[in-house]
Chain A
Amino acid sequence: MSYPGIDKYSYLNSPLHSFDPRAKVVTFTALIFSFAFIPELIIAIFAVLFSIVMIFISRIPPVFVFRYLRFPALFIFTIIVVMAFTVEGRPLLDLHYISITQEGIDIGSLIFFRAIAALILAFLMLATSRFDEIIKAMYMLKVPGVMVQIITFSYRYIFVILDELHTLKRSMYARGFQLKLNMYSLSVLGNMVGMLLIKSYERGERVYRSMIARGYTGNPRLFTSFNMITKDYILSAVMLTTAVSVQLIPLLT
């Protein structure tokens, strides 16, 4: 079973890795929201270049980034294809029933570059930090505690339940099951998912009791604290300036 391994390179040492987690969450979120609404194609391409430069600053192997992002990127690319065929406008290529239009490609590629820039940044935010650092940063940024705890525990139990699913699957395949798209396969699969949910429900009871036994009160306890130093302020300033200027420049020109 493959686990989501986004934090595989979180141990590296780079300006982005040592960036204060609180500042990282705030500035990356601001950048993502800003990049997602860039109005002009040329600025969207700049945003993608900016994100690629960030990959190199983070020292994460580009091969790893590529392997991680190729399928999401492919998914977004289909939007260009669909838009090219469906948006009405000046035809570039006429194929009798359908045609590729200039307007379609323009809108499609604008969306594509905006999405890719945001995608790389969201990836980098998680890839350059340990998950627990992000969680601590969220507590310190006053995100409601209940929400942060649900996210933390869900994240943790995804790995446990993936193992559980693997066990169930292995025993099914050992008995000769083959996954095809027919009624029989779907109903066997349905039974398996039902079992997975029941096992998880029972596990939830056990988890709750063991947490109570260890003194869980519903309130998080933080043992570490973060310190903002000059370097963090400079990096934050650079990122926030970028976020604001990609929105301001098209307004001014």
Chain B
Amino acid sequence: MHISDGVLSAPVIAAGWAITIIFLLVTFRLKMKESDMVEEIPKFSVMTAAFFVASLIHLPMGPTSVHPMLNGLVGIVLGPMAYIAMFVGLILQAFLFQHGGITTIGINAALVGIPAIIAFYLFKSGYDRGISEKLLGLLCGGLAIGLSALLLVIVLISTGQEFLGLAQVAAVAHLPLILIEGILTGTIVAYIAKVKPELLPVQMKK
């Protein structure tokens, strides 16, 4: 899910940065209203680091290995602030591990951040209807990756017709990830619900 530097055209890159800056401003503004930023900064940073480390775990898959993105999980736990966490994660990823690109941080953040926020609202409304956390985690985790892959295809095709083939290859490569991320997110959410439910956006029953 990292688009490298040099692939996309200038208008697409500019649009990515514009979307990301708007999302960052709006989510910051929303968070400032309900809580104290002095308290949020340390706590939020530790969680961002934790998600970053969790995404470094490599899973063996045939001859290669994949690493989970967990953007659905980040969304479920952090809510709309997930966009900021993914943005910071991508900056560190690009500069410390040289994965992804610098110019593409804006568009990459949109690709993973928007599905994360959708996963959050889906989880919340699903939980209110009484669906189990595990099933919801599975659905949201899988859906977030699926949406990211879909957005990636749209971005590649909107850059130029010659990227149609690359977009198809990228889409197929993401199919197994949807399943893996879904199962992983499902078990993680079920575990957190058992051990520390205040991490999830749910009201305790009774």
Contacts and interface: CB of A to CB of B under 8 A. Distances in A.
Contacts of B199: 197-198, 201
Q: Decide if the interface of chain A is mainly helix, strand, loop or mixed.
A: helix
Interface residues of B, number: 68
Interface in A26-50: 29, 32-33, 35-38
A201 B191 contact: no
Interface residues of A, number: 81
B41 A153 contact: yes
Contacts of B63: none
A12 interface: no
B166 A165 contact: no
B188 A190 contact: yes
A105 to B, nearest CB: 12
Contacts of B34: none
Interface of A: 4, 6, 29, 32-33, 35-38, 68-69, 72, 75-76, 79, 82-83, 85-88, 103-104, 107, 110-115, 117-119, 122-123, 125-126, 146-147, 149-158, 160-162, 164-165, 179-181, 183, 186-187, 189-191, 193-198, 200-201, 203-205, 207-208, 211-212, 216-218
26 contacts: A33-B102, A35-B5, A36-B13, A36-B102, A79-B4, A83-B166, A87-B165, A111-B7, A118-B5, A150-B45, A151-B91, A153-B49, A156-B49, A157-B45, A157-B48, A161-B46, A162-B53, A181-B180, A190-B185, A197-B77, A197-B192, A201-B50, A205-B43, A208-B42, A216-B42, A218-B38
Given A37-B10, A200-B50, A201-B50, 11 more contacts: A6-B96, A79-B4, A87-B162, A103-B162, A154-B48, A160-B49, A186-B183, A197-B50, A197-B51, A198-B192, A201-B199
